[in-house]
Structure 1
Amino acid sequence: MTGTLSTRKLAVLLAIWALLALAPYWMPPLGGYTALGTRVLVLALAAMSVNFLLGFTGVLSFGHAAYFGLGAYGAGFALKFLAPSTPLAIVCGMMLGGLVGAALGWVIAHRRGVYFAMVTIAIGQVFYYIAFQWSSLTGGDDGLRGFSRQPIDFGLFKLDIVSNSETFYYFVLVCFALVLAIMAFILRSPFGRTLIAIRENERRARFLGIPVDRHIWIAFSLSCFFMGFAGALYALVNNFADPRGLHYSQSGDFVMMAVMGGMRNFWGPLLGAAVFVVLQDYLSSVTVNWMSGVGALFVVIVLFFPRGLLGFVKSKSQA
């Protein structure tokens, strides 16, 4: 039985990566386009960063968009003021979002429940208003402009991620795979198992001598680094960064993606992000009230599929 389950998991994993690797070829016949697939990957990474904290640690942050936006601004600042280097931009964006998140996480890690969520919203809105008001640096409501992703020079050849959308998609896919590998390694480690124990029963974890607050702070910090990475990629997708990326409504979108797909499943946020982004892209071309359609779908999923879409699919396949 164990061998059968392992074979099934391996087959599902290979199918997921095959779908992602071949997306530029099967999406256009279905009415999609490569840039849409790139956007799905980036926002899925952001949703999986939220899920790292929410689904596997049991802590809800409604202000994680702050670190997503900081990652975007960090990448933009690096390209505009430091050097025209795409790898440097990604590193700067990840470090800005991650280090700020780690510093703030140290202060709020002892909070729980609605108090933790409200503090994260408040902190996120502080960064939003800073970006909105400091127009001389961030561009204010018009956003940060004047930068663009650059080709990556490997010496013998250059990777053209500027004009070739397929090449950029595969670049983002490789980045996505690297971050997911790190995330999966952490969750499978003893530290990751401890996070799940805290999620299931924090009081019992304390009785066992586990430093719960420290573990939550580390999980929060790691989630912010992942989120900063996603934000940096998002800035490269759009060649643009704006305060909307730091707003609490963006955090709500990430939480919706995680819940829709299945927040306690590793791959759930990927499915949730795909459904959210594709539905948003389609409905926004039909009506300006596209949020009503997405909201209605979210309500249906919460009411009838409490484990998310992926949880529902898994339960049916095991029945």
Structure 2
Amino acid sequence: MSVSIDTKPAARLAPASGGQPLAAALIWLVLLFVPFWLPMLGGYTDLATRALIYAIAATGLNLLLGYTGGLSFGHAAYFGLGAYGTGLCLIHVAPSLPLAILAGTVLGGVAGILVGPMVMKRKGIYFAMITIAFGQMFYFLAVRWNALTGGEDGLTGFSRVPLHIGGEAFKLGPERFYYLVLVLFAVVMLAVWQILRSPMGHSFVAVRENTTRLRFLGVAVDRQIWVVFAISTFIVALAGSLNALLTGFASPDNLGWQLSGSFVVICVLGGMRSFWGPFLGAVIFIVAQDYLSSVTQNWMSFIGLIFVLAVLFFPQGLLGFIKGRARS
């Protein structure tokens, strides 16, 4: 006997994925012209690129954290694997930018697929702890495998190579690399939007809301968690790959739990259950980090204070607060 699932209740539980069309169009318009207006405000293009990269990573984590309810403090491991995969590909395989990005994304995503079955049956604090454990395992692997990864000094010796399109080679300076990252950010956002509108995306939200009911209906809940975990790690690994190309460096710190905590802060700050929440959180986090680190060595304390204030006064994130005020 087959059991059909009514996805309409889950659909009502899921937040609007794309937001208001006018607001979304305005966001894309602002992003499109960032290299032109940001320097007028005293910023620089690489800052915007880093914000987009962190927004990609936080969007990947938000699929798991915000929509499925799985708190992971180990997602930086896949970010770091993406960075190392890209660097190693450029050094040892071929000086090809698309191949390097693909290699980093696949390395981090495959690691997520392999780890998924070992974390999908855990719940709550046990889920968070086992993700930290696997993250630290990858961290110490990067530190100890000195011959391949450079150990504690990190992986160097690679840089952005020209992008070959139609027989033409395009050198990727700060502006062109920003637009490459923007295109990939748009692809990720479109993919996530499609996932959240699909029955699979509705089932992710249903996992968060009522696991018992799903099991009663015959849904393989653990498999759903595995799927969303794997998708999430592929997206985060893509962000790590782009970060390696931005900095020309892959460090064991890219795999550490501190960076995982930063991704969680970004999601909570912007709004975990909002489509644009991770993007807003990433912009605030990166801008605050850049400014505060230039005026004080204790900038992390101020970031922590911002996070505490956000949790106390904006429990649904800044975007959730803005939407609530707009409705009232």
Q: TM-score, normalised by structure 1?
A: 0.96
Distance 1:6 1:48, change over 3 A: closer
The number of residue pairs the alignment matches comes to 313
User: Which amino acid in structure 1 is aligned with residue 230 of structure 2?
Assistant: S
Are residue 303 (structure 1) and residue 312 (structure 2) matched? yes
CA distance in 1, matches of 2:18, 2:145: 54
Are residue 314 (structure 1) and residue 323 (structure 2) matched? yes
Q: How does 1:1-319 map to 2 (within 5 A)?
A: 9-161=20-172, 164-319=173-328
- CA shift digits 1:25-45 (9 cap, x unpaired): 221121211000000000111
User: Which amino acid in structure 1 is aligned with residue 294 of structure 2?
Assistant: S
- CA shift digits 1:40-81 (9 cap, x unpaired): 000111011110100011111110000000000000010000
Q: Which moved further from structure 2: 249-258 or 183-192?
A: 183-192
CA distance in 2, matches of 1:197, 1:83: 44
Deviation at 1:180, TM superposition (A): 1.4
Matched-pair identity in %: 54
- CA shift digits 1:226-252 (9 cap, x unpaired): 111111011111111010000001000
Q: Classify the secondary structure of the residue corresponding to 1:121.
A: helix
Deviation at 1:204, TM superposition (A): 1.4
- CA shift digits 1:253-306 (9 cap, x unpaired): 000000000000011010001000000000000000000111101000000000
Q: Which stretches of structure 1, 4 residues or more, deviate above 3 A after TM superposition?
A: 5-8
Q: What stretches of structure 2 of length at least 5 have no aligned partner?
A: 1-15
User: Which amino acid in structure 2 is aligned with residue 54 of structure 1?
Assistant: L
- CA shift digits 1:201-246 (9 cap, x unpaired): 1111112221100000000001011111111011111111010000
Give the superposed CA RMSD: 1.4
Deviation at 1:8, TM superposition (A): 7.7
- CA shift digits 1:118-151 (9 cap, x unpaired): 0010110011011111111101111100011111
Q: Classify the secondary structure of the residue corresponding to 1:56.
A: coil
Deviation at 1:157, TM superposition (A): 2.6
Deviation at 1:6, TM superposition (A): 12
Q: Classify the secondary structure of the residue corresponding to 2:66.
A: helix
User: Which amino acid in structure 2 is aligned with residue 268 of structure 1?
Assistant: G
Q: Which moved further from structure 2: 52-61 or 151-160?
A: 151-160
Deviation at 1:196, TM superposition (A): 0.6
1:85 and 1:149 in contact (8 A); partners too? no
2:80 and 2:254 in contact (8 A); partners too? yes
CA distance in 2, matches of 1:31, 1:307: 31
Q: Which moved further from structure 2: 174-183 or 93-102?
A: 174-183
User: Which amino acid in structure 2 is aligned with residue 182 of structure 1?
Assistant: A
Q: TM-score, normalised by structure 2?
A: 0.93
User: Which amino acid in structure 2 is aligned with residue 64 of structure 1?
Assistant: H
2:57 and 2:239 in contact (8 A); partners too? yes
CA distance in 2, matches of 1:6, 1:207: 28
2:112 and 2:233 in contact (8 A); partners too? yes
CA distance in 2, matches of 1:6, 1:114: 28
Specify the alignment match of 2:6 in structure 1: none
CA distance in 2, matches of 1:279, 1:267: 18
Q: Classify the secondary structure of the residue corresponding to 2:161.
A: coil
Specify the alignment match of 2:7 in structure 1: none
Distance 1:11 1:241, change over 3 A: same
Deviation at 1:155, TM superposition (A): 2.4
CA distance in 1, matches of 2:169, 2:22: 34
CA distance in 1, matches of 2:155, 2:297: 25
Q: Classify the secondary structure of the residue corresponding to 1:158.
A: strand
CA distance in 1, matches of 2:207, 2:140: 34
User: Which amino acid in structure 1 is aligned with residue 112 of structure 2?
Assistant: G
Deviation at 1:186, TM superposition (A): 1.1
